[in-house]
């Protein structure tokens, strides 16, 4: 019985050098055509999830999780805004009726001090922030379809 030899995914030809060595010559144009579009755009690292699931599955998973996250973000955001706004409103009423006394000059000084500290720290982010940004960028590049679905679902969740 003869076994079929597995054909390489890229057309190649065996060549012999002057010595005993052999090497493969690959047609790079054919190789580039057979690459997935996300590999061509984002490089070789683009795809643990991209290679396990179809594009439709990735979009569905990303869309559903994005919608859930957006919906929860909207609900929690409304609750937080209500709590902060209500608390500020109650403090203003208490100050206006005389229950509490606010030293507005001291508040202004503290706010200005905080602004200066934020400006100094914003110029050079800490190393931890830079490494986290690099990790997120790598994840997005590796899973572009999934993150695209998540972003779309998140926006739909915010709107619903």
- Is the pLDDT score of 39 beyond 80? no
- Is the pLDDT score of 132 beyond 50? yes
Tell which wins on pLDDT, 59 or 86: 86
At residue 109 the predicted structure's pLDDT band, cuts being 50, 70 and 90, is very high
CA–CA distance, 64 with 54 (Å, rounded to integer) = 16
Dump pLDDT digits (tens) for 12-22.
Answer: 555 555 666 67
CA–CA distance, 44 with 50 (Å, rounded to integer) = 12
CA–CA distance, 59 with 68 (Å, rounded to integer) = 14
Tell which wins on pLDDT, 119 or 29: 119
Percentage with pLDDT > 90 across the chain: 24
What pTM was computed for the model? 0.50
Average pLDDT of the residues of the chain: 77
Is residue 145 classed exposed, middle or buried when 0-12, 13-18 and 19+ CB atoms within 10 A define those classes? buried
């Amino acid at each position: 019985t003869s076994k079929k030899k597995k054909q390489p995914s890229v057309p190649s030809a065996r060549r012999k050098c002057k010595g005993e060595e052999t090497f493969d010559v690959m047609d790079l144009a054919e190789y580039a055509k057979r690459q997935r579009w996300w590999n061509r755009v984002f490089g070789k690292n683009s795809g643990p999830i991209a290679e396990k699931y179809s594009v439709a599955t990735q979009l569905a998973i990303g869309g559903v999780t994005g919608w859930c996250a957006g919906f929860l973000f909207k609900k929690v955001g409304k609750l937080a805004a209500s709590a902060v706004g209500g608390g500020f409103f109650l403090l203003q009423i208490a100050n206006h009726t005389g229950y509490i006394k606010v030293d507005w000059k001291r508040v202004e000084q503290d706010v200005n001090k905080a602004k200066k500290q934020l400006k100094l720290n914003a110029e050079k982010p800490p190393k931890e922030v830079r490494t986290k940004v690099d990790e997120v960028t790598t994840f997005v590049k590796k899973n572009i379809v999934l993150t695209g679905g998540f972003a779309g679902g998140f926006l739909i969740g915010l709107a619903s």
